[in-house]
Amino acid sequence: MTDPLLALRPWDAPEVTSWGRLPMNAVDRRAGAHSLDGGWRFQLLSAPHAPVGGAWSTATVPGAWTMQDTDDLPRYLNVRMPFAEFPPRSPAEDNPTGVYEREIDVPAGWAGRRIVLQVGAAESVLLVHVDGRPVGVSKDSHLAAEFELTEFVRPGGRAVLRLTVVKWSDASHLEDQDHWWHGGITRSVLLYATDPLYLADVDVRAGRDGELRVDCRVRDTGGALPAGWYLDGELDGLALAQDTAFDRENAEDERVSAFLGEARLRTRVPEVRPWTAETPELYGLTVRLHRADGTVADTSRHRIGFRDVAVVGRDLLVNGERVYIRGVNRHDFHPLTGRTVTYDDLRADLVLLKRFGFNAIRTAHYPGDPALYDLADELGFYVVDEADIESHDHAHEIADDPRHLNAFVDRVSRMVLRDKNRPSVVIWSLGNESDYGANHDAAAGWVRRHDPSRPLQYEGAAKRGWADPEVASDIACPMYAPLEECVAHALSGKQTKPLIQCEYSHAMGNSNGTLADHWAAIEATPGLQGGFIWEFWDHGILQSVNDGRPVGRGGAGLYDNGVAAPGYRWAYGGDFGEKDHDGAFVADGVVFPDRTPKPVMYEHRELAAPLRLELFRHEGLVVSNHQHFRGLDWLRGTWELVLADGRTLTAAAELPALLPGETAVVPFPLALPPDGGEAWLTLRVTTAEDLAWAPRGTEVCTPQVLLRAGAQAPEAAVREPAATGPAVTRPVEADADGLLVHPLLTVAPTLSLWRAPTDNDELGGMAPRWRAWGLDSLVRKVVSVRREGPSVTVLAEYAGTTGVVRHRQVLTPVEGGVRIDEQAELPAEFDDVARVGTVFETVAGLDLLEWFGQGPWESYPDRSGGAPVGHHALPVDALFTPYLRPQESGGRHGVRHFTLSASDATGLAVALDEPRQVSVTRYRAEDLTAVAHHDELVPRAGCVVHLDAAHRGLGTASCGPDTFPSYLVAPGVHRWSWTLRVL
Ligand code: GAL
């Protein structure tokens, strides 16, 4: 006999969003439930109608089968669907279908109780059978589905539970998000029991005035409710009683039948401690449902927060404050499990985000696991909760197609029903990149009726007009809008809604240029309130190079510090043999696949600093509290006076007691020595006590002010005419081609205009242009080598395919070394190049870089905010940032002078005429350009050193705006000088 669920063909029926599934609600059943996680019998069929009957293997639940031992591997496509069928169809034959089976032992003690199965997430269609009998169907891959099993199982008995998961369906067309395609059960499976009389839903409204209202829905499996039931509860010890006025109204309301159990608890909490992302104050709420005899039938526990959120004019207000939204887009990702994340994984994500100054998360592009919201409530994040709708490839057709109407409303409403009590959730989002149609308006209408307490956003609607009052978005939430357009809108006088970009600053590879400029504009422009960086993760899956398979759960320990162990790599699109794919576009996060922060995180941390420092007319320092809701008492500071001559003086800092937004002038903590050259004062700020997200002593920010410019800096020497004293006797050695001969250099200094293209350079179209100009393979031709006394002047031409750069190098002996004065003249057609500077290579063994300049992290001209000027030291191998697709990496901005030394302290010292961009790596630009993955790089024994007179900003052009004109390298004449000495 044909199985009715299969006969229904729900994978090709967009109108069918579920069958037999229980309504979503906000009662948390995780505590006390029986976990069905673990090994299940498993078969992967070629299509849903293929017969089950092959050999069973074992699959771990939760876990995508694409990350386990099957032939159906992960696949990365951004916009394009992985199959040709037009919506609502899916492939008839080639549709991987996982059959999961296991026995469930139903406790004898559950006799008389209502038994419920909860499947945390399954993609994309779930069919449930018990002992071969059809139970239900569900779609909506990132929300739980519940089914009542009371009728299907016998307490004290054993039953066979089968979950069939069909990978491709009409729902896949609504789940076309930009990440890996997987299949399987990706969140936990639970079994629980309740009394037949149970809490069907609890709806909490808790405002910052302390007003608490808890609306409960009570149901009975028998239908009509037994007489005499009632509710009570407590809030951190404060007793809550049923609102009798509400009961009276209900009793008089003829529409309220005996089937509809509604009751309300109500109180006002005096001196409430409001919830904000800075002060995530939670209260424990317990709701109890009693039978007439006073015994407890059901209990629901919640951690709630008292807060208000509102859009007023063009401001988003949390508790009346216009808070900055320092957000990130977060997908569910793990390099070993693909999509399945544990509580510890989630906690580690959010802890890291807190440490780097983020205060907001957009759940791009589907609702997260309930634990994500537990953590956001507890640690303090503003959450844009986004429904699981992205119909990208067929967006226009689907947005108005009534066959998909149910799915839109279903997905949005189920998210709201589940998460409505979360203080962290401040905005609902209708989804992502699905055009804008009647289906959105239907979903928006449902949300506005059900939860008027929160704003709603949808980028696709906002796109119709940032100020348009009609559309289904209370926020102007564009993605990757040019900053100047945002500012112009805010200044136009026409802005009607807060402008908070749902995506900006695309973090693919070496990126996030101009983040500091964005924040300067946001803070200076009323109406701009922040945005969400795209995105948190580089989705590199750990892959064995040998067999090309995902390593899976056994891979813990096979990576460190952003790098996969030898024999492994971070796979991106195409690495699992996919024919159609979108390559490394899936690696576009601010953390590596093992959660190691990329350098941009340090800049973000500084931009989000709770405390700012400025110079006050050379009389002292202005300290300001840059937070919205709390003082500085959770922080501790240390002053560091950094002098160019190598000294760093320290003193404990007394942070002033400041309310949010207040400033105070404090005297200079340390006397500035008259000598010592350029001087900077840094306030190193750490946590003063253990916090949920950081142990005491965790660095929070390092604001810095310049106390004295670098007139007396050692590098000033290079500007002076060459010393002609008796100490300088040896003339500079150069070969017939005018190349410097030096015992510590294996490749003499020459001109470089090329960098290994970043993802932004490639996708933004710059690198193709540079290649067309021949900048990656300039041909050097010596024009003249002229010796004058001990100096050598070399004129050379560097020819590209379309232009010639004239380069002059004057090599002059100075005490202990050589001074190199350089000039390059770029023709007008080279109007935007990666760099103009010098490159040379050293002998092996110079493995330590010590520098005075910005650091210690990697920094670039348009991404240098979090790197204070100081005396830094790092092993050369630690300077490189292992972006998944190798590219320009490891640069340090504003370097004044540096040494490269061997373990016996011999080596070389370089002083620059002014702060310059420097990089020291094991790789030539061409080494990096030649390979697709980090593991293919072969480090050179010596160092490849770049000193740049000018280095192009990074921008974000892989998806969004390029860097600003001020960070471009212009044609014309560039001059720079440096000295090279032997230590
Ligand atoms: C956006 C999209 C994201 C991601 C990003 C590029 O358009 O919403 O999901 O694709 O671009 O990485």
Domain boundary among 672, 702, 732: 702
Q: For ligand 1, is residue 178 a contact (CB within 6 Å)?
A: yes
Distance 276 CA to ligand 1 centre (A): 28
Q: How confident is the model at residue 520 (pLDDT cuts 50, 70, 90)?
A: very high
651 plus 732 within the same structural domain: no
Instruction: Confirm whether 339 is domain-assigned.
Output: no
**Dihedral pair phi/psi, residue 387, rounded to 5°:** -75, 155
Is residue 28 packed enough to be buried (19+ CB in 10 Å), middle (13-18) or exposed (0-12)? Answer: middle
803 plus 927 within the same structural domain: yes
Q: Which amino acid is at 252?
A: E
Q: For ligand 1, is residue 588 a contact (CB within 6 Å)?
A: yes
Contact call for residues 895 and 851 (beta carbons, < 8 A): yes
For 394, the token pair is 């067929």
For 833, the token pair is 């190049």
Rounded to an integer, the average pLDDT of 323-347 is: 98
Is residue 286 packed enough to be buried (19+ CB in 10 Å), middle (13-18) or exposed (0-12)? Answer: middle
Between 943 and 463, the higher pLDDT residue: 943
Q: For ligand 1, is residue 407 a contact (CB within 6 Å)?
A: no
* Per-residue pLDDT at 250 exceeds 90: no
For 923, the token pair is 């790789």
State the pLDDT at residue 716: 41
In DSSP terms, 425 is beta-bridged to: 383
Which residue's CA is minimally distant from atom 2 of ligand 1?
Answer: 178
For 848, the token pair is 């330590």
Residues forming the active site:
433, 503
State the pLDDT at residue 727: 53
Write down the residue that tokens 């016996």 correspond to: 904
In DSSP terms, 902 is beta-bridged to: none
Q: For ligand 1, is residue 584 a contact (CB within 6 Å)?
A: no
What's the DSSP call for residue 765? T
* Per-residue pLDDT at 718 exceeds 50: no
Distance 362 CA to ligand 1 centre (A): 13
Instruction: Confirm whether 66 is domain-assigned.
Output: yes
Could you read off the pLDDT of 393-406 as tens digits, one per residue? Answer: 999 999 999 999 99
Instruction: Confirm whether 203 is domain-assigned.
Output: no
Q: For ligand 1, is residue 366 a contact (CB within 6 Å)?
A: no
**C-alpha span between 526 and 528 (Å, rounded):** 6
Distance 432 CA to ligand 1 centre (A): 9
State the pLDDT at residue 688: 98
* Per-residue pLDDT at 470 exceeds 80: no
**C-alpha span between 454 and 428 (Å, rounded):** 7
State the pLDDT at residue 715: 42
Ligand 1 atom closest to residue 588's alpha carbon, by position in its atom list: 12
Rounded mean pLDDT of the chain?
96
Side-chain-facing half-sphere of 252: CA atoms under 13 Å? 5
CB environment 753-767: b (16+ within 10 A), e (fewer): bbbbbbbbbbbbebb
Ligand 1 atom closest to residue 364's alpha carbon, by position in its atom list: 9
793 plus 918 within the same structural domain: yes
**C-alpha span between 588 and 330 (Å, rounded):** 11
Q: For ligand 1, is residue 534 a contact (CB within 6 Å)?
A: yes
Q: Which amino acid is at 898?
A: F
Q: For ligand 1, is residue 432 a contact (CB within 6 Å)?
A: yes
Contact call for residues 117 and 127 (beta carbons, < 8 A): no
Alpha-helical regions (H) of 216-265:
244-252
Q: Which of 79, 429, 433 to mutate to test the pocket of ligand 1 (most atoms within 8 A of CB)?
A: 433
3-state secondary structure of 798: strand
Between 198 and 619, the higher pLDDT residue: 198
In 3D space, the residue among 43, 42, 300, 29 whose CA is nearest the CA of residue 147 turns out to be 29
Distance 406 CA to ligand 1 centre (A): 25
* Per-residue pLDDT at 316 exceeds 60: yes
* CATH number of the domain where residue 865 is located: 2.70.98.10
Ligand 1 atom closest to residue 365's alpha carbon, by position in its atom list: 9
Contact call for residues 719 and 913 (beta carbons, < 8 A): yes
Which residue's CA is minimally distant from atom 3 of ligand 1?
Answer: 178
Q: Which of 389, 459, 760, 959 to mutate to test the pocket of ligand 1 (most atoms within 8 A of CB)?
A: 959
Write down the residue that tokens 């800096």 correspond to: 713
**Dihedral pair phi/psi, residue 799, rounded to 5°:** -100, 130
**C-alpha span between 621 and 616 (Å, rounded):** 5
Q: For ligand 1, is residue 510 a contact (CB within 6 Å)?
A: no
**C-alpha span between 448 and 455 (Å, rounded):** 8
**C-alpha span between 748 and 818 (Å, rounded):** 13
405 plus 424 within the same structural domain: yes
Could you read off the pLDDT of 172-196 as tens digits, one per residue? Answer: 999 999 999 999 999 999 999 999 9
* CATH number of the domain where residue 225 is located: 2.60.40.10
* Pairing, β 745-752 against β 835-842: antiparallel
Which residue's CA is minimally distant from atom 4 of ligand 1?
Answer: 178
Rounded to an integer, the average pLDDT of 736-741 is: 96
- The parent domain of residue 695 ranges over 610-702
Contact call for residues 543 and 569 (beta carbons, < 8 A): yes
* Per-residue pLDDT at 721 exceeds 80: no
Contact call for residues 346 and 371 (beta carbons, < 8 A): yes
* Per-residue pLDDT at 724 exceeds 60: no
Distance 232 CA to ligand 1 centre (A): 46
Instruction: Confirm whether 118 is domain-assigned.
Output: yes
* Distance from chain centroid for Cα 422: 21
State the pLDDT at residue 711: 60
For 334, the token pair is 């793990």
Rounded to an integer, the average pLDDT of 884-907 is: 97
Distance 82 CA to ligand 1 centre (A): 17
In DSSP terms, 616 is beta-bridged to: 620
3-state secondary structure of 553: helix
595 plus 614 within the same structural domain: no
Between 385 and 468, the higher pLDDT residue: 385
Q: For ligand 1, is residue 78 a contact (CB within 6 Å)?
A: yes
Ligand 1 atom closest to residue 585's alpha carbon, by position in its atom list: 12
Which residue's CA is minimally distant from atom 10 of ligand 1?
Answer: 178
Distance 585 CA to ligand 1 centre (A): 9
Rounded to an integer, the average pLDDT of 895-901 is: 98
Which residue's CA is minimally distant from atom 9 of ligand 1?
Answer: 178
**Dihedral pair phi/psi, residue 403, rounded to 5°:** -65, -25
State the pLDDT at residue 480: 98
Q: For ligand 1, is residue 70 a contact (CB within 6 Å)?
A: no
79 plus 15 within the same structural domain: yes
Between 713-717, 731-735, 771-775, 949-953, the lowest mean confidence (pLDDT) is in 713-717
User: Angle at the Cα of 608 (from 603 to 609), degrees rounded to 5?
Assistant: 95
Ligand 1 atom closest to residue 79's alpha carbon, by position in its atom list: 10
Q: Which of 177, 363, 503 to mutate to test the pocket of ligand 1 (most atoms within 8 A of CB)?
A: 503
3-state secondary structure of 873: strand
483's enclosing H/E stretch is helix 483-491
Could you read off the pLDDT of 904-918 as tens digits, one per residue? Answer: 999 999 999 999 999
* Distance from chain centroid for Cα 786: 55
Alpha-helical regions (H) of 338-404:
343-355, 370-379, 395-399
What's the DSSP call for residue 195? -
Ligand 1 atom closest to residue 78's alpha carbon, by position in its atom list: 10
CB atoms within 10 A of CB 31: 8
Distance 541 CA to ligand 1 centre (A): 19
Q: How confident is the model at residue 719 (pLDDT cuts 50, 70, 90)?
A: very low
What's the DSSP call for residue 273? -
* CATH number of the domain where residue 50 is located: 2.60.120.260
651 plus 592 within the same structural domain: no
Ligand 1 atom closest to residue 502's alpha carbon, by position in its atom list: 8
Q: How many domains does the chain have?
A: 5
**Dihedral pair phi/psi, residue 256, rounded to 5°:** -85, 110
**Dihedral pair phi/psi, residue 117, rounded to 5°:** -100, 135
Total residue length of the chain: 983
Rounded to an integer, the average pLDDT of 265-269 is: 96
Q: For ligand 1, is residue 429 a contact (CB within 6 Å)?
A: no
Helices (runs of H) and strands (runs of E) counted in the chain: 14, 55
State the pLDDT at residue 251: 85
* Per-residue pLDDT at 804 exceeds 50: yes
Rounded to an integer, the average pLDDT of 354-371 is: 98
**C-alpha span between 737 and 722 (Å, rounded):** 23
Give Cα separations from 102 to 30, 132, 141, 161, 187 (angstroms).
20, 12, 21, 6, 16
Q: Which of 178, 538, 590 to mutate to test the pocket of ligand 1 (most atoms within 8 A of CB)?
A: 178
State the pLDDT at residue 722: 42
* CATH number of the domain where residue 513 is located: 3.20.20.80
Distance 543 CA to ligand 1 centre (A): 24
With helix as H, strand as E and coil as C, how does 52-89 read?
Answer: CCCCCEEEEECEEHHHCCCCCCCEEECCCCCCCCCCCC
Distance 643 CA to ligand 1 centre (A): 44
897 plus 811 within the same structural domain: yes
Q: Which of 78, 180, 759 to mutate to test the pocket of ligand 1 (most atoms within 8 A of CB)?
A: 78
83 plus 115 within the same structural domain: yes
Is residue 253 packed enough to be buried (19+ CB in 10 Å), middle (13-18) or exposed (0-12)? Answer: exposed
Residues with Cβ within 8 Å of residue 563, at least 6 apart in sequence: 882, 934
Q: For ligand 1, is residue 479 a contact (CB within 6 Å)?
A: yes
Complete edge-to-edge strand list for the sheet that includes strand 261-268:
197-206, 211-220, 261-268, 238-242, 230-235, 283-290, 296-304
Q: Which amino acid is at 888?
A: E
Rounded to an integer, the average pLDDT of 304-320 is: 98
Could you read off the pLDDT of 197-249 as tens digits, one per residue? Answer: 999 999 999 999 999 999 999 999 988 899 999 999 999 999 998 999 998 99
In 3D space, the residue among 557, 498, 677, 533 whose CA is nearest the CA of residue 605 turns out to be 533
Rounded to an integer, the average pLDDT of 932-940 is: 96
Peptide bond into 123 cis (omega under 30): no
Instruction: Confirm whether 259 is domain-assigned.
Output: yes
Rounded to an integer, the average pLDDT of 151-163 is: 98
Contact call for residues 267 and 287 (beta carbons, < 8 A): no
Instruction: Confirm whether 367 is domain-assigned.
Output: no
Between 147-156, 168-177, 640-649, 715-724, the lowest mean confidence (pLDDT) is in 715-724
Instruction: Confirm whether 452 is domain-assigned.
Output: yes
Rounded to an integer, the average pLDDT of 715-741 is: 66
Q: Which amino acid is at 811?
A: L
In 3D space, the residue among 56, 73, 65, 45 whose CA is nearest the CA of residue 547 turns out to be 73
Q: For ligand 1, is residue 433 a contact (CB within 6 Å)?
A: yes
Ligand 1 atom closest to residue 177's alpha carbon, by position in its atom list: 9
Beta strand spans in 221-358 (E): 230-235, 238-242, 261-268, 283-290, 296-304, 309-312, 315-318, 321-322, 325-329
Q: Which of 463, 480, 534 to mutate to test the pocket of ligand 1 (most atoms within 8 A of CB)?
A: 534
Domain boundary among 270, 304, 338: 304
State the pLDDT at residue 2: 81
DSSP letters for 646-696:
S-EEEEEE------TT-EEEE--SS---SSSSSEEEEEEEEESS-BTTB-T
For 456, the token pair is 């709603």
Distance 428 CA to ligand 1 centre (A): 19
* Per-residue pLDDT at 54 exceeds 50: yes
Instruction: Confirm whether 891 is domain-assigned.
Output: yes
State the pLDDT at residue 201: 98
745 plus 666 within the same structural domain: no
For 905, the token pair is 């302290």
769 plus 661 within the same structural domain: no
Rounded to an integer, the average pLDDT of 360-374 is: 98
139 plus 256 within the same structural domain: no
Distance 178 CA to ligand 1 centre (A): 6
Rounded to an integer, the average pLDDT of 106-116 is: 98
Share of the chain above pLDDT 90, in %: 94
Ligand 1 atom closest to residue 959's alpha carbon, by position in its atom list: 6
Distance 177 CA to ligand 1 centre (A): 8
